[in-house]
């Protein structure tokens, strides 16, 4: 069993910031990356609202900078996924990955959130065959094609706008007649000639034999069923926190977000959390970075007080 002072679980903006701060506090953190190095931001095309980058920066570039900075001060990155933890018996905590088992005096959980699925027939079977949750990853394959985007939030607008670089038309299907997205993205989407909107409508089935061919939709006002031909379906209907491996170990709210106190500590002393796994409200790179920093500072203090 490998013994560690601090393990950071997750390598998104919260995790890499927690790594930077604990590394600078000479705590020699081990960062366990999770399935996606950099988390959700690594599949985001353009980050325009993270301070310090007036021209914007791509998600992968920002992750690379954050990783480089944390490693410069001694953080160690392990590309692996945590499969099991034992937090219940207190510090030292056991953390198992596919390849190893670790013991850590303190843990900072930064495992983020994942995209919700629609849960309709055809969705699961056609993932990678026209159904996608990442325009940045898959948009290129839809050059001169017609695509639909499902959702009315900032993510849906951002990705719809990105898709206009490739696709010949982008139809946004939204369940209400008003977008949830903020003014900037909303106005940009309204102004884009390639984007049109299908209001008050939900997708009930994704239709296709081996690849996406159409979506079957229902107007929630009239119950009218329609079939809309399309080559791709990009789904952006929000996220859920990745807390299943902590079930029964850490307290969560009714939507499964980890509960933390004002010092970023979870229900188990010595286990801290930061970023979207405990934040259903702000969910920005800037706030995740701030929470990662706070969690690291509190971890340092907690370890110091114990000694």
The residues annotated with a catalytic role in the active site are 134, 137-138
- Total residues binding ligand NAP (CB under 6 A): 19
Is residue 83 a contact residue for ligand NAP (CB under 6 A)? no
Q: Which of 238, 240, 286, 290 binds ligand NAP (CB under 6 A)?
A: 238
Is residue 220 a contact residue for ligand NAP (CB under 6 A)? no
CB burial of 30-55 (b: ≥16 within 10 Å; e: otherwise) equals: bbbbbebbbbbbbbbbebeebeeeee
Is residue 237 a contact residue for ligand NAP (CB under 6 A)? yes
Q: Which is nearer to ligand NAP, 143 or 176 (CB)?
A: 176
Burial of 157 (0-12, 13-18, 19+ CB in 10 A): buried
Q: Which is nearer to ligand NAP, 70 or 207 (CB)?
A: 207
Scanning 206-272, the segments in alpha helix (DSSP H) are none
C-alpha span between 65 and 80 (Å, rounded): 20
Is residue 241 a contact residue for ligand NAP (CB under 6 A)? no
Is residue 280 a contact residue for ligand NAP (CB under 6 A)? no
Alpha-carbon torsion (264, 269, 273, 278), positive or negative: negative
Is residue 202 a contact residue for ligand NAP (CB under 6 A)? yes
Beta carbons of 114 and 244 less than 8 angstroms apart:
no
Is residue 151 a contact residue for ligand NAP (CB under 6 A)? yes
Is residue 275 a contact residue for ligand NAP (CB under 6 A)? no
Those residues with Cβ within 8 angstroms of residue 268's Cβ, 6 or more apart along the chain or in another chain: 87, 88, 90, 249, 250
DSSP state of 178: S
Per DSSP, the three-state class of 47 is strand
Beta carbons of 70 and 22 less than 8 angstroms apart:
no
Is residue 270 a contact residue for ligand NAP (CB under 6 A)? no
Interaction mask 162-181, ligand NAP, x per CB under 6 A: -------------xx---x-
User: In the Cβ-directed half-sphere of 263, how many Cα atoms lie within 13 Å?
Assistant: 12
Q: Which of 142, 166, 234, 236 binds ligand NAP (CB under 6 A)?
A: 236
Report the site for ligand NAP in 18-77 (rule: CB under 6 A). Answer: 49
Interaction mask 96-125, ligand NAP, x per CB under 6 A: ----------------------x-------
Q: Which is nearer to ligand NAP, 96 or 283 (CB)?
A: 283
Quick one: which segment of 5-13, 57-65, 153-161, 291-299 binds ligand NAP (CB under 6 A)? 153-161
Tokens of residue 237, six digits: 């209907």
Chain residues binding ligand NAP by CB under 6 A are: 49, 118, 150-156, 158, 175-176, 180, 202, 236-239, 283
């Amino acid at each position: 069993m490998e013994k560690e002072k601090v393990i950071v679980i997750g390598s998104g903006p919260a995790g890499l910031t927690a790594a930077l701060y604990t590394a600078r506090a000479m705590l020699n953190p081990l960062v366990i990356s999770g399935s996606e190095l950099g988390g959700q931001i690594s599949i985001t095309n353009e980050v325009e609202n993270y301070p310090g980058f007036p021209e914007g920066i791509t998600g992968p570039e920002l992750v690379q900078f954050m990783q480089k900075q944390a490693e410069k001060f001694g953080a160690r990155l392990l590309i692996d996924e945590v499969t099991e933890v034992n937090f219940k018996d207190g510090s030292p905590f056991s953390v198992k990955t596919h390849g190893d088992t670790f013991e850590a005096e303190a843990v900072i959980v930064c495992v983020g959130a994942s995209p919700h699925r629609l849960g309709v027939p055809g969705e699961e079977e056609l993932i990678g065959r026209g159904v996608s949750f990442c325009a940045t990853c898959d948009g290129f394959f839809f050059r001169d094609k017609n695509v639909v985007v499902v959702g009315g939030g900032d993510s849906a607008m951002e990705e719809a706008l990105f898709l206009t670089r490739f696709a010949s038309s982008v139809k946004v299907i939204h369940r209400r007649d008003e977008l949830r997205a903020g003014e900037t993205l909303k106005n940009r989407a309204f102004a884009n000639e390639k984007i049109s909107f299908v209001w008050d409508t939900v997708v009930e089935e994704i239709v296709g034999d081996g690849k996406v061919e159409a979506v079957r939709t229902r107007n929630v006002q009239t119950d009218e069923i329609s079939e809309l031909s399309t080559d791709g379906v990009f789904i952006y209907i929000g996220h859920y926190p990745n807390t299943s491996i902590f079930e029964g170990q850490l307290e969560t709210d009714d939507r499964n977000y980890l509960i933390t106190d004002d010092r970023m500590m979870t229900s188990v002393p010595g286990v801290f959390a930061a970023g979207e796994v405990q934040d259903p409200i702000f969910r920005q790179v800037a706030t995740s970075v701030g929470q990662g920093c706070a969690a690291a500072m509190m971890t340092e203090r907690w370890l110091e007080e114990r000694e």
